[in-house]
Amino acid sequence: MSDDMNGKNSDYVEVVKALSMVFQLGLSVMIPIALCVFIGYKLDVWLGTGYMAVIFIFIGMAAGIRSAYMITKGFYSKDLEREKKQREYFDDLYRHRLNAHKNEIDKEDDDD
């Protein structure tokens, strides 16, 4: 029964991690956009122009996208490392079996 509880706790932890990442992504995209809109608006008022807010919206979007990329890159790096190790393991296993098969063929040729 304790194994079942550990599995449920593990699932719960994964869900909490995923939700926290979604929340973090939302904030990391929205805050740069909001700050840049505010700065652009204040510059428009101060300089008497009407285009600074638009320029700063694009700057904020670029900053938000970069931030989201950096967060997701770190989140998935563990999975990518695990997949790389698994790929190396299966490549080694394939090479080992291929060499064993070649050795069997060589033995059969030597016996003939």
List the chain domain ranges.
2-111
Q: Which of 5-9, 15-19, 41-45 has the lowest mean pLDDT?
A: 5-9
Q: Could you read off the pLDDT of 55-73 as tens digits, one per residue?
A: 999 999 999 999 999 888 8
Q: Could you read off the pLDDT of 83-112 as tens digits, one per residue?
A: 888 899 888 888 888 888 777 877 776 665
- Pair 40, 53: CB distance under 8 Å: yes
Q: Whose CA is closest to 28, among 67, 60, 59?
A: 67
Give the C-alpha distances (Å, rounded to integers) separating 33 from 19, 50, 60, 111.
22, 18, 4, 75
Q: Which amino acid is at 89?
A: Y
What are the helix and strand counts (H, E) for the chain? 2, 0
- Pair 55, 36: CB distance under 8 Å: no
Q: Provide the whole-model pTM.
A: 0.59
